[in-house]
């Protein structure tokens, strides 16, 4: 039997988002008056009045509503060029090599501190933006960016498993079940091309935990992945929605928003919050220090903090939004429309916040992933 979860319209999930924010390390504190790096108070008066030209966005694949981009251009006159990546690790590597010529990037919680420390992100004081007050209070102070000095919140995400119950006859309730190749899934399994997501899952499936310092745990995780490998149809984070919905794959690692969009196309799909535990995270937007269009970037990020615009995007990506006032603008789900998948209170007890591992542990992750994909 699949673990309990709720499929609900996005309009009822903001309260849940606040609780999630606390779990991922945010503290529900009121925003203080922001200051610049010299300690001088800053406010919305310094915000660019208008923009023109273009904006270059580096984002996860299929992770923004095209209609929202069209509306942004209509509202501001700024054209958005979108390039995509498949994993946070891929994004970080490109940014750190200096080959990333983007303005705005999507940054996951667990890589944000590293990007700030290495000087890759521009300080922006997001709470001073005209729409900065729309950031839900619980998201203002987070472990990775206290006071929102460098980022604006974008979405709250859960990690889990998507199962085609018409094809997979064996029960799937855990990561162990997933990696055991349940009957009916042979050769039709999708594994995300995400080092952190996959290794975290393999560690939990073998009785350990993410970021463990136990070297033997990584050997067990590697052995499990090697045994699992022959039944993988594809290692890819792109196209997971269409493959699972269309039956090309019948078992897949999935983020809850992507799963909701797949389930809208195929009602035989069910979502599993694994019994060993699952990761949840917070994705954000930031501006690179080498951005060519930083003012346009600020205008874009502020635009997405407007509840009506945040709702337009949330209706498409199907993840919980950390923006207040969004509820009245969210579309009422019609017949067959995707509905966000959220965890109930009992399930949330198994959730783990997705924080960065130590440098030493990160080396273990890198080594295991290279060996597995090699």
* Strand 78-85 versus strand 6-8 pairing type: unpaired
Pull the structure tokens for residue 247. 């039956």
pTM given for the model: 0.87
∠ CA 43-330-70 to the nearest 5 degrees?
A: 70
pLDDT, position 35: 40
pLDDT, position 15: 38
Within the chain, which residue ranges are assigned CATH 3.40.190.10? 16-156+281-329, 157-280+338-373
- The Cα–Cα gap between 259 and 261 comes to 5
pLDDT, position 44: 42
Distance of CA 112 to the CA centre of its chain: 12
The CATH superfamily holding the domain 16-156+281-329 is Periplasmic binding protein-like II (3.40.190.10)
The CATH superfamily holding the domain 157-280+338-373 is Periplasmic binding protein-like II (3.40.190.10)
pLDDT, position 27: 39
Q: Mark the ranges of the chain whose per-residue pLDDT is less than 70.
A: 1-45, 333-339
Give phi and psi for 172, each to the nearest 5: -125, 110
Closest CA to 304 of 16, 57, 90, 91: 57
pLDDT, position 98: 83
Residues 6+ apart with CB under 8 A from 190: 232, 233, 234, 236, 240, 243, 244, 249, 251, 252, 253
Write the pLDDT tens digit of every residue in 289-317.
Answer: 999 999 999 999 999 999 999 999 999 99
């Amino acid at each position: 039997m699949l673990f309990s979860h709720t499929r609900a319209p996005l309009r009822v999930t903001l309260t849940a988002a606040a609780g999630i924010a606390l779990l991922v390390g945010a503290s529900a504190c009121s925003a203080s008056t922001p200051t610049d790096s010299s300690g001088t108070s800053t406010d919305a008066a310094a915000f660019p009045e208008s923009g023109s030209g273009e904006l270059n966005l580096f984002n996860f694949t299929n992770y923004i509503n095209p209609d929202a981009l069209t509306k942004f251009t209509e509202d501001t006159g700024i054209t958005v060029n979108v390039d995509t990546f498949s994993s946070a690790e891929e994004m970080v590597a490109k940014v750190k090599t200096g080959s990333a010529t983007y303005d705005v990037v999507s940054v996951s919680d667990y890589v944000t501190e590293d990007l700030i420390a290495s000087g890759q992100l521009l300080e922006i004081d997001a709470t001073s933006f005209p729409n900065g007050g729309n950031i839900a209070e619980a998201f203002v102070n987070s472990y990775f960016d206290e006071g929102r000095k460098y980022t604006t919140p974008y979405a709250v995400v859960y990690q889990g498993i998507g199962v085609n119950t018409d094809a997979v006859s064996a029960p799937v309730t855990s990561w162990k079940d997933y990696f055991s190749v349940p009957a009916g899934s042979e050769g039709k399994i999708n594994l995300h091309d995400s080092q952190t997501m996959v290794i975290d899952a393999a560690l939990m499936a073998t009785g350990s935990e993410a970021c463990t310092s136990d070297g033997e745990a990584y050997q067990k995780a590697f052995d499990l992945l090697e045994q699992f490998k022959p039944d993988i149809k594809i290692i890819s984070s792109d196209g997971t929605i269409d493959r699972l919905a269309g039956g090309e794959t019948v078992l897949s690692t999935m983020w809850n928003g992507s799963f909701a969009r797949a389930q809208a196309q195929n009602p035989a799909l069910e979502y599993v919050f694994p019994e060993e535990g699952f990761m949840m995270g917070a994705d954000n937007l930031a501006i690179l220090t080498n951005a060519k269009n930083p003012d346009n970037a600020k205008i874009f990020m502020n635009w997405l903090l407007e509840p009506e615009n945040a709702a337009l995007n949330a209706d498409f990506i199907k993840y919980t939004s950390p923006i207040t006032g969004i509820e009245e603008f969210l579309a009422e789900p019609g017949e067959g429309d995707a509905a966000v998948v959220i965890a109930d209170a009992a399930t949330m007890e198994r959730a783990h916040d997705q924080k960065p591992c130590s440098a030493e542990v990160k080396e273990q992750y890198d080594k295991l992933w290279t060996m597995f994909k090699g």
